[in-house]
Structure 1
Amino acid sequence: MAESAQPLSARARLAVTAGKAAAAVSRAAGRGSGSVIGGRVALKVDPELLSRLAGHLEVVLVSATNGKTTTTRLIAEALRAGGEVVSNALGANMPAGITSALSAGATARFGVLEVDEKYLAGVARDVTPRAIALLNLSRDQLDRAAETRMLAERWREGLQGSKATIIANADDPLVVWAASSSPDVIWAAVGQEWKDDAWSCPACGGVLHRPDAVHWQCGECGFGRPAPSWVLSGDTVVDPHGTPWPIRLQLPGRANKANAATAAAVAAALGIHPQVALERMQSVAAVAGRYDVVQHQGRDIRLLLAKNPAGWLETFSLIDPPPAPVILSVNARGADGTDTSWLWDVDYGRLAGHPIAVIGDRRLDLAVRLEVAGVQFRVCETLDEAVQMLPQGRIEAIANYTAFQDMRRIVGN
C-alpha cells in the first residue's frame, strides 16, 4: 500500500498553484490544455515537485514507441477497481506534463503515467514506481530520437537494480535486453508485428534467428526470447497459472488486445484480479480521440492515429476492407519529427483497392511514396475537399500526430 498523502511544503503548494494558474491562462488563450506549460512553471518554482507529488502513490509507468497512451488508459481503468487513480490521460508524457497530472492526485491511491521513452529512467528515479510496463521500441522521429538500440541501452542502464516490477514484452528483443538488467521482471508474450528494428542482437550485434513466428535467438551469443508468464492467445490472455481470460474490448484490432493483455498483467501485479481488470477495460471506447467515429459534412469518419512505420502497419489491419474510402494525412512539424524518410518503410501497397485522398502539410511527400507503391490516390488541399471527392461509405482517416490533432479540431472532436 502507498503511504497516506503528506501535506506539501509551502514551496510545493506555491508551485502547484503557479502551475495551475499558468495552465488556466494557456487554456483561456486557446493554446491547448495547458498541462505542459503548467508543469514547467511548477517545476521552476520547486524542482523536486514531481517526487513530492508521487510520494503517496502506487505508481505505474508505461513506456513504448507505440501503444503507451492506450495501455495507460486501460491500466488506469483496471486499477480503479482498487481505488482512485490519477493519470496523464491526454498523453502529456514528459516531466512537465506528468507533474501537471499528479498535481490533481492528492487523494488518489494509484498514479498511472505514460512516459516518453527518452525520459523513462529519469521519471522512474523521481517517482519510485511499483511497476513499469515496457511495450516495444521501434524507429520514430528520426531527426531527433535516439536510434532504437541506444534507447534500449538507456532503459537498461536506467532500470538496472530498480525495485519496480517490470512487465515487459517478451516478443521484442530490444525490450527484453533493456528489461534484463532488472531483478524483478514479468514477461508477457503479446506479439510484435513490426520486426524491422530487431534483426540484430542488442547484446552483441549478431544476427537474430527466428525459427518460427514466435521464437527468436541470437546465433552468436545465445541471447533469446525468455519464457513468458502471460501469453496473448487470440481473444484471451493466459495468466501464469494457465487460466485463459477473455478480452472483450470496444477498441479495435490485435494491437489493442496486446495492450489489454499487458494491462491485465500490470493490474495483477498491483492486486487486481484479471477478470475484474479486463471487465473494466470494456468501458474504454476511444482514447484521446483515437478510434472515435465522428460526423462531418454528413459523412461518418473514423479517426485513426499512426505516427511511425510500426503504427501504420497495425492501423492498416484495422480499416474496413476495400472499397472503403481512406484519407491519409501527414505533417512534419516539431511534435512529429521533421524527417519524413520513414514513409518509405511503410508498405502502402496494402491500401490497394481503396479510394484514397491525401492531405496534410507533407501531402506531396506521401503522394510520391504512393505513386511508387502503385496505389491510386488524389491529392487534396483540405479535409473538406477530401471528404467531398471520396465515394460513399465510412471514411477511414489515418493521420500522424499533429495531422491527427488538426483533423480533430476541424471535425470538432
Structure 2
Amino acid sequence: MTDLSARAKFATAMLRTAATLSRVSGRGDGSVIGGRVGLTIEPRLLSMLASGRRVALISGTNGKTTTTRFTAAALEAAGPVATNSFGANMPTGHTTALAKARDAVNCVLEVDEHYLPQLLNDATPQVVALLNLSRDQLDRAMEVSGLAAKWREALSQAPDVPLIANADDPWVTWAAGASNNVTWVAGGQRWQEDSWVCPQCGKHLDRYGEFWRCVACGLTRPSPSWTIDGDVVVAPDGTRVPLDLRLPGQVNRANAATALAVASAFGVDMAAAGPRLTSVTSVAGRYAVVRRDGRRVRLLLSKNPAGWLEAFDMLEPRCPVVLALNAREVDGFDTSWIYDVDFSPVHGRRVLAIGDRRMDLAVRLQVNGIDFEVVEDISAAIEAVPPGDLEVIANYTAFQDIRAEFDRVN
C-alpha cells in the first residue's frame, strides 16, 4: 500500500467521522455519506486507497452481494479483507470500504454493473468476476444489450486484466470476449428470456440446457474450467472442493464456485478457502430466519425476474409463501416486469400478497391462475398462517420494510 498525501489522510479522517455520525444517529451504516464526504475533499481518494493493494471486483445483475460475501470469506484464509459485502456498491461505498480497512492488502468490492467501467479504471483490479446480465429496473436502467456493450468497451481498454466469467450467459461471454485473459466458470443461467438472440450478430441462439451457440456467426459457449458437480466445485486441475453451504439454491453453489475461482486467482489454497464458505449464513438480511409467534420466517430478496425465478427454487416444499412488492425509487416505479415472472412454482401453496403494490401483484397472480390472499402487511400475513415455516420473497424496499418491522418488534 502506498502512503497517502496529507489531503487524502484528511479526507479519510473526515470520511470515517461522517460514517460514524451516520451510524450513531441511526441514519444508516455510513458507507455512502462517508464516501461522499471523502471524495468531495479528495476526488482521487478511491484510486489512492486502492493503490498497492490486491483488488477483486464482483459485478452482475444478480448475486453480486452474496458472491462478494463468499469471496471475502474465502480470502480471509489469507488474512484480513477489505470489503463492501453488505451492499454499498457504488464508488462512495467502495471508498468507505477501503478506508475502513487500511491494513488489509486483499480487497473484494461488489460493483453495481453500471459502475464497472469506472472501477476498472479507479481500482486497478487484480481480477474481475462477471456473474450475469439480465433485465433490471428498465424504467431507469439501460437494456441488457447496452450494458453488455458498455462492459465490452471498458474491458477492451483493459484487455489483460484477469476475468472470472460465467460461460453459461451469452451476454457475459460476449462482453468478456474483449479480454485476453478469461477463466470460465459454469455459473448457470436458469433465466434465459434475455438471451435468445446472439449478442454478436443478432441471430437466434440454439440452446440445449446450459449449452448455447449461434450457427450464424459461431459465437459459442466456452468450455468452463470451473464446474459444479452436485455439492462439489471442481477446479481446473481436477481438485474437488466440497461445499457445505448454509445458503440455499443451485444459484448459490454457482456463486460459491465463482468465489473460489477468485480466491484461487489470489493464490489461496482451496483446502483452506472452501470450508470458510460455511460461515456465510446471511447476507445483509438475505436468507435470515426470524422466529415470531410460533412461525419460522425466512426472508428472500428478489429484485427482478431472474431473481424471482431463483427464489422460487429455494422455497421449502409446501409451506406458505408471502410475496411482497413495492415500487419506490430504488425499486423502479414500473411494475410491468412482474409479467415476465412465471409464478406457477407457487401453485398449490398458500400465497399471501403484501406491499405498496400488492394489488398489482394480485392481478398478476390471478392471470397466472394462482390462488392468493391480499393482506395489509407482514404482521397480518404471519397472523393469517398457522404456526410453522413461512417463506417471504420481497423486492428491495419491501424487504427493508419487513426487516424494519422485525427489528421493531423483536
Q: Is the 8 A contact 1:295 1:411 kept in 2?
A: no
Q: CA deviation at 1:239?
A: 1.3
AA at the equivalent of 2:134: S
| Equivalent residue, structure 1, for 2:217 | 221
* Corresponding position: 1:274 with 2:299: no
Q: Return 5+ residue gaps in structure 2 as ranges.
A: none
Q: CA deviation at 1:392?
A: 3.0
Q: Is the 8 A contact 1:23 1:34 kept in 2?
A: yes
| Equivalent residue, structure 2, for 1:171 | 168
Q: Is the 8 A contact 2:293 2:387 kept in 1?
A: no
| Equivalent residue, structure 2, for 1:200 | 197
| Equivalent residue, structure 2, for 1:378 | 373
SS in 1 for 2:290: strand
* Corresponding position: 1:90 with 2:89: no
SS in 1 for 2:279: coil
Q: CA deviation at 1:197?
A: 0.6
Residue 109 of structure 2: which of 113, 124, 127 is its match?
113
Percent identical residues: 54
Q: CA deviation at 1:81?
A: 1.0
Q: What are the equivalent positions in structure 2 for 1:257-336 lying under 5 Å apart?
A: 257-322=253-318, 324-336=319-331
| Equivalent residue, structure 1, for 2:238 | 242
Matches of 1:271 and 1:197, distance apart in 2:
35
Q: Return 5+ residue gaps in structure 1 as ranges.
A: none
SS in 2 for 1:62: strand
Aligned CA-pair RMSD: 1.2
| Equivalent residue, structure 1, for 2:347 | 352
Q: CA deviation at 1:16?
A: 1.3
| Equivalent residue, structure 1, for 2:12 | 16
Q: CA deviation at 1:97?
A: 0.9
Q: CA deviation at 1:393?
A: 2.0
Matches of 2:369 and 2:387, distance apart in 1:
23
Matches of 1:195 and 1:261, distance apart in 2:
20
Matches of 1:391 and 1:365, distance apart in 2:
26
Superimposed CA distance per residue, residues 173-226 of structure 1 (whole angstroms, 9 cap, x where no aligned partner)? 00000111011100111211100111011111111111x213111121111111
Q: Is the 8 A contact 2:166 2:173 kept in 1?
A: yes
Superimposed CA distance per residue, residues 244-266 of structure 1 (whole angstroms, 9 cap, x where no aligned partner)? 32222111110100000111111
Matches of 1:162 and 1:97, distance apart in 2:
26
Superimposed CA distance per residue, residues 37-60 of structure 1 (whole angstroms, 9 cap, x where no aligned partner)? 111111111000000011121000
Q: Is the 8 A contact 1:82 1:272 kept in 2?
A: yes
Matches of 1:336 and 1:297, distance apart in 2:
30
Q: CA deviation at 1:227?
A: 1.4
Deviation above 6 Å: which 4+ runs of structure 1?
A: none
Matches of 1:207 and 1:135, distance apart in 2:
23
AA at the equivalent of 1:34: G
AA at the equivalent of 1:196: E
Residue 53 of structure 2: which of 51, 57, 69 is its match?
57
Q: CA deviation at 1:136?
A: 0.4
| Equivalent residue, structure 1, for 2:142 | 146
Matches of 2:320 and 2:365, distance apart in 1:
15
Q: TM-score, normalised by structure 2?
A: 0.97
SS in 1 for 2:345: helix
AA at the equivalent of 2:372: F
SS in 1 for 2:79: coil
Q: CA deviation at 1:34?
A: 1.7
Matches of 1:68 and 1:45, distance apart in 2:
29
Q: Is the 8 A contact 1:355 1:391 kept in 2?
A: no
Q: CA deviation at 1:157?
A: 0.6
Q: CA deviation at 1:300?
A: 1.3
Matches of 2:159 and 2:99, distance apart in 1:
25
SS in 1 for 2:160: coil
Q: TM-score, normalised by structure 1?
A: 0.96
Matches of 1:96 and 1:272, distance apart in 2:
29
Q: Is the 8 A contact 1:356 1:390 kept in 2?
A: no
Matches of 2:229 and 2:143, distance apart in 1:
31
* Corresponding position: 1:188 with 2:185: yes
SS in 1 for 2:104: coil
Aligned residues: 407
Q: Is the 8 A contact 2:130 2:165 kept in 1?
A: yes
Q: Is the 8 A contact 1:64 1:117 kept in 2?
A: yes
* Corresponding position: 1:391 with 2:386: yes
AA at the equivalent of 1:377: F
SS in 2 for 1:241: coil
Q: Is the 8 A contact 1:249 1:281 kept in 2?
A: yes
Name whichever of 12-21 and 249-258 sits farther off: 12-21
Q: CA deviation at 1:72?
A: 0.3
Matches of 1:194 and 1:94, distance apart in 2:
26
AA at the equivalent of 1:362: R
Q: Is the 8 A contact 2:290 2:296 kept in 1?
A: yes
Q: CA deviation at 1:283?
A: 1.2
Matches of 1:331 and 1:46, distance apart in 2:
37
Q: Is the 8 A contact 1:325 1:393 kept in 2?
A: no
Q: CA deviation at 1:272?
A: 1.0
Matches of 2:239 and 2:49, distance apart in 1:
38
